[in-house]
């Protein structure tokens, strides 16, 4: 198909689901073979069954298959436009559907979507129920939903006490450094109907070291914020905040002072993503800003 903008349809007409299913592990079954057999990403099988490394499967074990979701191709669709609509990278979509370049699509064709689509995605607005009890997280991620106006404000816990609170400048004199080098798979701003990205998502190999974008104090280390996986927040000397989500492991602790360029974590796929990547945010206080404007 020729390239074109995706046709905006009600979400219910974009994807359909099949009924959940349970399978019994047979001799010779592996996560890879089950993923191929049932056209389901390995990561989705791991997460829905709460599997842990080394992911050994025992004969007779009952596994739950994630709910499969599908997109029906309409006129004007391209693999790129579909990936943007669902916030799924093209590589994941092509592998899941066994497509090869130039990724030709046919009207009416059904494309399988990762099971995470339609649920909580790390780059969407955060619902009230998902906001952590941590004051540091509450101070940054206000309890807003995609259906609420962007201008609506909420009462949130302050990151610092009133005695030490200071006015945070909306401009910054110095640039942050890139926390990792990789391929940007989701940019700042609107990424689909009713969804927005408060940062950028950078694809990189699993285990890649993540660097502190500037010197500051680690104010949060944890995984309480649904969809973000393992998350680190660093408050910098001017009050600005950088956030690092979907990490595989932590290399710093809350309260620790870090220097610019210090290793703080490793790239992972924790939270609402299927491939190793870093979700990186820059915030002037609570306000998210486009990281690309503050990177060299």
Cα 20 to the center of its chain, rounded Å: 24
3-state secondary structure of 129: helix
DSSP state of 146: T
pLDDT (0 to 100) of residue 239: 87
Local confidence band at 266 (pLDDT 50, 70, 90 cut-offs): very high
Closest CA to 249 of 274, 219, 276: 276
The residues with which 216 forms a beta bridge, in sequence order, are 236, 258
Omega prior to 102 cis, within 30 of 0: yes
Does the domain at 11-113 match CATH 3.30.565.10? Answer given as no
pLDDT at residue 163 is higher than 80: no
Q: Say yes or no to pLDDT of 18 above 70.
A: no
- Statement: residue 125 has pLDDT above 50: no
Residue 106 CA neighbour count, 13 Å, CB half: 4
Residue range 162-294, CATH number? 2.70.70.10
Phi-psi region of 124 (alpha: psi -120 to 50; beta: other; left: phi over 0): beta
Question: Token pair for residue 9?
Answer: 């349809």
Confidence of residue 80 (pLDDT cuts 50, 70, 90): confident
pLDDT at 153: 30
User: What pLDDT, on the 0 to 100 scale, is given for residue 295?
Assistant: 94
The number of residues making up the chain comes to 296
Q: How far is CA 161 from the centre of its chain?
A: 30
Enumerate the domain spans of the chain: 11-113, 162-294
The values of phi and psi at residue 45, to 5°, are -65, -40
Residue 81: pLDDT band with limits 50, 70, 90: confident
Q: Is the full-model pTM beyond 0.85?
A: no
User: 11-113 with 162-294: one CATH topology?
Assistant: no
Q: CA-CA distance, 86 to 192, in Å (whole number)? A: 7
Per-residue pLDDT band at 21 (split at 50, 70, 90): low
DSSP assignment of 259-277, as one string?
A: -TT-EEEEEB--SS-SS-E
Model pLDDT, residue 154: 32
Share of the chain above pLDDT 90, in %: 28
The whole-angstrom separation of Cα 14 and Cα 130 is: 26
Q: What average pLDDT does this structure show over 107-119?
A: 71
Nearest Cα neighbor of 136 from 235, 237, 223 is: 235
Measure CA 287 to chain center: 19
Nearest to 228 by CA among 88, 130, 153, 147: 130
How does residue 117 score in pLDDT terms, banded at 50, 70 and 90? low
Kindly list the distances between the CA atom of residue 271 and the CA atoms of 21, 86, 189, in Å, as whole numbers in the listed order. Answer: 23, 16, 20
The stretch 126-133 carries a mean pLDDT of 44
Cα 246 to chain centroid distance, Å, stands at 7
The H or E element containing residue 22 is strand 21-24
Q: What average pLDDT does range 240-249 have in this prediction?
A: 93
pLDDT of residue 122: 35
Instruction: Tell me the pLDDT of the chain averaged across its residues.
Output: 75
Whole-angstrom CA distances from 160 to 120, 137, 141, 167, 285 are 29, 12, 15, 12, 11
Residue by residue, DSSP assigns 48-115 as: HTT--TT----TT-EEEEPPPEEEE--TT--HHHHHHHHT--HHHHHHHTT--TT----TT-EEEE-T
Residue range 248-266: mean pLDDT, rounded: 94
Local structure of residue 32 (DSSP, 8 states): H
DSSP secondary structure letter of residue 27: T
Residues 131-156: tens digit of each pLDDT:
555 666 766 775 333 322 333 233 22
């Amino acid at each position: 198909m020729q390239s074109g903008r995706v046709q905006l349809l009600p979400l219910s007409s974009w994807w359909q689901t099949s009924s959940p299913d349970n399978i019994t592990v047979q001799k010779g079954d592996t996560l890879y073979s089950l993923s191929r057999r049932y056209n389901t990403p390995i990561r989705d099988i791991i997460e829905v069954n709460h599997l842990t490394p080394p992911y050994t499967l025992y004969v007779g074990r009952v596994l739950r298959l994630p709910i499969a979701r599908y997109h029906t191709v309409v006129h004007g669709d391209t693999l790129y436009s579909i990936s943007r609509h669902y916030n799924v990278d093209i590589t994941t979509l092509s592998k899941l559907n066994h497509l090869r370049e130039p990724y030709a699509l046919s009207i009416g064709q059904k494309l399988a979507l990762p099971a995470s689509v339609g649920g909580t995605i790390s780059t969407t607005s955060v619902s009230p129920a998902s906001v952590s009890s941590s004051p540091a997280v509450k101070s940054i991620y206000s309890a807003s939903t995609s259906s609420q106006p962007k201008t609506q404000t909420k009462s949130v816990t302050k990151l610092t006490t009133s005695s030490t609170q200071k006015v945070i400048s909306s401009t910054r004199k110095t640039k942050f450094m890139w926390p990792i080098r990789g391929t940007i798979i989701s940019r700042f701003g609107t990424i689909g109907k009713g969804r927005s990205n408060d940062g950028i998502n950078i694809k990189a190999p699993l285990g890649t070291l993540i660097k502190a974008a500037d010197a500051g104090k680690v104010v949060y280390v944890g995984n309480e914020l649904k969809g973000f996986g393992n998350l680190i927040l660093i408050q910098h000397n001017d009050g600005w905040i950088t956030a690092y989500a979907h990490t595989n492991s932590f290399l710093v602790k809350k309260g620790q002072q870090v220097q610019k360029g210090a290793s703080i974590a490793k790239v992972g796929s924790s939270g609402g993503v299927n491939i190793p990547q870093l979700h990186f945010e820059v915030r002037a206080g609570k306000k998210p800003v486009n990281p690309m404007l503050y990177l060299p």
